[in-house]
Amino acid sequence: MEKSSVTIEIKQEVSIALLWTVGGVIAIAVPFFICLKPLDLWPSVNAGGLTAAFYVLALIIYATRGPVKRKTRVLVLALFGVVVSSLAYSWKLQESQSNWQRETLVEIRGVLGRGISSAVLGDTLLNTLQQFYSQSPQGRHSLGQVFKLRYPDAAVGMDLYKPQWPGDTLTHAYVGALTDDRVVLIGRDRVAKGRDPSFRNFEGAVGKIQERYTLTEKGLIRESDN
Amino acid sequence: MNQTIDPQNFDAPSEQEIPNSFVVKMLCLAGALLLMAKISEQTDAKGFLVPTRFVVSGFPYLYAAAQTVYNGLLEFSGREPGAVEIRLIVSALASLLLSFVIGPTAFFFSLRRYHLTSNHPKLPAGSSLLGMIITVPLVISVIPVAVLQYNGFHNLKRAQAEQFVKDGMIKVIVNIAQDARIFHMLPKEKGGGGGSYDRFVPSSQLKETEWSTFSVKTVDDALHITGTVTKNPSLRFGMGKPDEIPFGRISLTLTSAGDMRKWDYDGVFK
């Protein structure tokens, strides 16, 4: 490279650098905003990141052209390759990890929902059964009557679950059936989705976890509706 | 081009590599981006999820990851996923521009300047410093971050797999305890224990699951229920080897009154 052209380049350096900066900002911001989605930042960040990789590559090619030694250029490009590969790996790993965490959180909620149904509804019915068998032979009440003694307001369709704290979104415990020899409680999760997304739940919700507990004098029958 | 060329000054550039005006402009731009990210960060309570230090250290994908996990938490608590907030959008864009435009541009222009002139300054100044502060930590940290991230994800999956198996085992033990309570309260003529857990046997569905087996033992008047891992929990997420079965045991004592007492967690569940 001529000394004169190098001098020109040095004198124009600020303008060229600013031009590169402005160009880079536009090149990254435009795809970033084009790909912006209301609920997900990944498409924007991925588009911006991809453009950024090309920008830095172009910048390296520009900045390491002659009279910069070829050896330096190869070294910088090799380092760029290593950095970009590692960054791309971290990037994609973070994307799959965050999506996995999100899915897992929803799945955990489902496991918790079924466990809570089992504990809350199962215990409610077992306490009824215990009281039923603890009665004296004289003046025995039927299973349904014992349940009504324990829950005087109970009626088919009623939700027996009392939220434990403000904003408690754990479960509903609906009375599904109430006869002398049979009490059915239906546990419907308020949040967690069940196996079938189109399943019609007991009281009109759709697709939520639903567990059914039927108490008879012989014991407890557990069924998973959804 | 109407450039004034002064060959005498060719090998004697000004004291500073790049004029102050350029450095000031770049610093202003960097400062503005950081300020935008900082101001928008104050606007809501989601800050706990977003590691703000990464605005300058250069991992913009963390903002997208924070949004994704935050949406998972919203779904977990029964709310609809939230729209991406302006704060996160600005932070992610600021991070992208700082890490991949401002830092590298300043750095590579300084590198070129360094190679074009023979009169190298002893210490990097101005734009070189700006470029190095932003770019060098990113370049140095990118490989350790990738390794740490891989290990972190692997450990998270393994811990989560163990937690899933643990939760599943607890549910089965609770069901066995409920069945045992029923057996205990049913009179003998109805197939129950008539006030005793003796002869109680869990149903075949509850004796063995995909990940564990369960057994019961009567101790005095109480029933001791034990679940033991029989399959490597990591296999749930496609990791680990089938023959590597870690020791994991959960036990519960059910009193004669039907109370669940003394949950014990051993091995991987401890």
Mind listing the pLDDT tens digit of every residue in chain B (270 residues)?
Answer: 444 434 444 444 444 445 555 555 556 655 655 555 555 454 444 444 444 444 445 688 888 998 898 888 888 877 788 788 888 888 899 989 988 998 889 888 888 877 777 665 544 456 667 777 777 777 888 888 888 888 888 888 888 888 889 988 998 999 999 999 999 989 888 888 988 999 999 998 899 999 999 999 999 889 999 999 999 988 888 888 888 888 999 999 999 988 888 899 999 888
**CB–CB of B105 and A20 under 8 A?**
yes
Residues B163 and B250 in one domain: yes
Place of tokens 């509706």: A225
CA–CA separation, B176 and B146 (whole Å): 45
CA–CA separation, B218 and B225 (whole Å): 9
Domain count, chain A: 2
Domain of B97 in residue numbering reads as 11-125
Question: Best residue in A109, A133, A146 to probe B by mutation, most B CBs within 10 Å?
Answer: A133
Give me the half-sphere count of Cα atoms (radius 13 Å) on the Cβ side of residue A10. Answer: 28
Residues B163 and B257 in one domain: yes
**CB–CB of A21 and B175 under 8 A?**
no
List C-alpha distances in Å: A170 to A122, A142, A161, A178. Answer: 15, 31, 9, 23
Describe the strand order of the beta sheet including A208-216 as a list of residue ranges: A171-179, A182-193, A208-216, A219-224
Residue B199 covered by a domain: yes
Residues A123 and A187 in one domain: yes
CB within 8 Å of A202: residues ≥ 6 apart: A174, A176, A186, A188, A210
What is residue B126's predicted lDDT score, i.e. its pLDDT?
A: 64
**CB–CB of B117 and A91 under 8 A?**
no
The beta-carbon neighbor of A49 closest among B13, B61, B89 is B61
Give the number of A-B residue pairs with CB atoms closer than 8 Å.
255
Residue A108 covered by a domain: no
Residue A109 covered by a domain: no
Residue B190 covered by a domain: yes
Residues A86 and A166 in one domain: no
Query: Taken in order A138, A142, A145, A149, is the CA torsion positive or negative?
Result: positive
**Looking at the whole model, is its pTM more than 0.80?**
no
**CB–CB of B182 and A220 under 8 A?**
yes
List C-alpha distances in Å: A124 to A127, A161, A207, B32, B178. Answer: 5, 10, 25, 60, 11
Place of tokens 């090799």: A78
Domain count, chain B: 2
**CB–CB of B105 and A11 under 8 A?**
no
B141 touches chain A (CB under 8 A): no
Length of chain A counted residue by residue: 226
Residue B151 covered by a domain: no
Residues A146 and A71 in one domain: no
Q: Which residues of A touch B175 (CB under 8 A)?
A: 118, 122, 222
Domain end position, chosen among A43, A68, A102: A102
Residue B131 covered by a domain: no
**CB–CB of B64 and A60 under 8 A?**
no
Residues A55 and A128 in one domain: no
Residue A142 covered by a domain: yes
CA A111 from centre of chain: 14
Predicted complex ipTM: 0.78
Q: Which residues of A touch B63 (CB under 8 A)?
A: 41, 45
**CB–CB of A56 and B104 under 8 A?**
yes
Residue B91 covered by a domain: yes
Residue A153 covered by a domain: yes
In 3D space, the residue among A13, A142, A48 whose CA is nearest the CA of residue B101 turns out to be A48
Residues A82 and A182 in one domain: no
Residues A134 and A211 in one domain: yes
- Determine contact, residues B60/A48, Cβ cutoff 8 Å: yes
Residues A121 and A171 in one domain: yes
B178 touches chain A (CB under 8 A): yes
**CB–CB of A102 and B72 under 8 A?**
yes
What is residue B8's predicted lDDT score, i.e. its pLDDT?
A: 42
Angle at CA of residue B169, ends B161 and B181, nearest 5°: 165
The tokens of B99 are what? 């890490």
CA–CA separation, B216 and B225 (whole Å): 5
The tokens of A177 are what? 């059936």
Length of chain B counted residue by residue: 270
Residue B77 covered by a domain: yes
Domain of A70 in residue numbering reads as 3-102
CA distance A12 to chain B (A): 9
Exposure string for B28-40, b = 16+ CB within 10 A, e = fewer: ebbeebbebbeeb
Domain end position, chosen among A102, A131, A147: A102
What is residue B51's predicted lDDT score, i.e. its pLDDT?
A: 45
Residues B51 and B103 in one domain: yes
Q: Which residues of B touch A217 (CB under 8 A)?
A: 190
CA–CA separation, B49 and A81 (whole Å): 31
Residues A15 and A95 in one domain: yes
Residues B175-223 have pLDDT tens digits of 999 999 999 989 888 888 988 999 999 998 899 999 999 999 999 889 9
Residues A132 and A219 in one domain: yes
CA distance B5 to chain A (A): 7
List C-alpha distances in Å: A61 to A12, A55, B115. Answer: 18, 10, 14
The residue of chain A nearest to residue B112, with distances taken between CA atoms, is: A63
Residues B168 and B237 in one domain: yes
Hey, which residues 179-238 in chain B have their CB within 8 Å of chain A?
A: 179, 181-182, 185-187, 190-191
CA B168 from centre of chain: 23
CB within 8 Å of B242: residues ≥ 6 apart: B231, B232, B235
In 3D space, the residue among A85, A34, A33 whose CA is nearest the CA of residue A57 turns out to be A85
**CB–CB of B187 and A133 under 8 A?**
yes
Residue B224 covered by a domain: yes
**CB–CB of B7 and A4 under 8 A?**
yes
Residues A96 and A120 in one domain: no
Residues B165 and B111 in one domain: no
CB within 8 Å of B70: residues ≥ 6 apart: B46, B49, B82
In 3D space, the residue among A44, A76, A48, A54 whose CA is nearest the CA of residue A63 turns out to be A76
Q: What is the 3-state secondary structure (H, E, C) of chain A?
A: CCHHHHHHHHHCHHHHHHHHHHHHHHHHHHHHHHCCCCCCCHHHHHHHHHHHHHHHHHHHHHHCCCCCCHHHHHHHHHHHHHHHHHHHHHHHHHHHHHHHHHHHHHHHHHHHHHHHHHHHHHHHHHHHHHHHHCCCCCCCCCHHHHHHHHCCCCCCCCECCCCCCCCCCCEEEEEEEEECCEEEEEEEEEEEECCCCCCECCCCCECEEEEEEEEECCEEEEEECC
**CB–CB of B182 and A219 under 8 A?**
yes
Residues A9 and A67 in one domain: yes
Peptide bond into A67 cis (omega under 30): yes
Give me the half-sphere count of Cα atoms (radius 13 Å) on the Cβ side of residue B225. Answer: 32
The beta-carbon neighbor of B105 closest among A7, A21, A36 is A21
Domain end position, chosen among B75, B103, B125: B125
Residue B250 covered by a domain: yes
Residues A98 and A122 in one domain: no
End-to-end CA gap in chain B: 76
B263 touches chain A (CB under 8 A): no
- Determine contact, residues B231/B211, Cβ cutoff 8 Å: yes
CA distance B80 to chain A (A): 10
pLDDT means per 10 residues, chain A with 226 residues, are 63 82 95 93 95 95 87 90 92 92 86 83 90 84 92 88 74 90 91 88 87 92 90
For residue A221, the cross-strand partners are A214
